[in-house]
Amino acid sequence: MNQTATTPRRILTVVGARPQFIKAAALRAAFDAAPDFHEILVHTGQHYDTNMSGVFFEELGLRAPEHRLTIEDRHHGAMTGQMLAEIERILLAETPDALLVYGDTNSTLAGALAAAKLHIPVIHVEAGLRSFNKAMPEEINRILTDHVSRLLFCSTRTGVDNLADENIRDGVHMVGDIMYDVALRFGALADREALTATYRRPGRKLALLTLHRAENFDRPGRARQILDFVAGYAQDHDIVFPIHPGTRAKLAQMDVDLPAGLMMIDPLPYIQLQGLLGIADLVLTDSGGLQKEAYFHRKPCITLRDETEWVETVDAGWNALWTNPIHKPRREIEDYGQGDTADRILSIIRETL
């Protein structure tokens, strides 16, 4: 579709979870700086409390969303269905030129389906990721989103190859990793001296732990096995555990012994988490985003899952699975780009719409 100089392209962006707020920080700034774009942000409310949502908008300088929904604390079907209905209503009212989604959450899938059914082009940032484990809700979300998208922006060559294997080739672009843009911009702003004084003890190493995925809590004994594995690192590491509210509630219901030296704290704002990554010696996580952020800070990571979609972090020696926690020789990961992913994405959208 053709746009005139006085008619900005209207991009409706759907976010709902912490990693998407971070990614949106880079693109929302780029959209705001471009007179030929107008972004309309929809926050579904999937992550809803201040520590998981509001603080990210404040510290990353994100303008408040134009539409704020409160769809949270539901099972996958109910959550996705209500999101789809509400996003459809907003799409009909806003009539955007395209809808943009990030990653693989229920918010991502709901936005993509709502737009596709209205014949509105779907733009998927972080397309092509595959864990090849369809027991993960995220895997279902990302596959379905990719198959209804018009523009697919991949972080790595592996993502491009995964899409080609599914016969998705049109509209596919490798642009680098949008989270790297944000890490470069905000990663050095934390007060590392204060974090060191709070969390590091002389003569002890420091590990950062996150644990929240359903797959690690829905199977009997799985969380206990992982915490037993983590306990092996508590011998010479103090372990800081910023804990998701849902994870805290699940652990309270389970008969598990937490490792000695484990410090559970509330979720950290993005900049403080980047600072903690900067002073840590090791990252233990089941988060996809944190695997990459560990690499951005050149910290070794062990992923508390049986597979990872970020296979290049393993191949390059910065990451290893807990089932075989041995790192390969380290090298740089060139696919993630130079921190200019947002500009590259805008340029391609500009040429396409």
Q: Render 95-132 in DSSP notation, one character per residue.
A: --SEEEEETTSHHHHHHHHHHHHTT--EEEEEET---S
Tokens of 204: 């002890």
Quick one: which H or E segment has residue 13? strand 9-15
76 is catalytic: no
One of 43, 47, 212, 244 is an active-site residue; which one? 212
Q: Report the length, in residues, of the chain.
A: 353
> Interior CA angle at 114 toward 94 and 17, to 5°?
90
According to DSSP, the residues that pair with 301 across neighbouring strands are 283, 319
Give the C-alpha separation, 225 to 246, whole Å.
19
Give the C-alpha separation, 324 to 17, whole Å.
30
* Residue 128 near residue 162, CB atoms below 8 Å: yes
User: How far out from the chain centre does Cα 255 lie?
Assistant: 30
Where does the chain have alpha helices with state H?
A: 18-33, 55-59, 76-94, 106-117, 137-147, 157-165, 178-186, 192-199, 222-231, 245-253, 270-279, 288-296, 311-315, 341-352
Active-site residues, by number, are 212
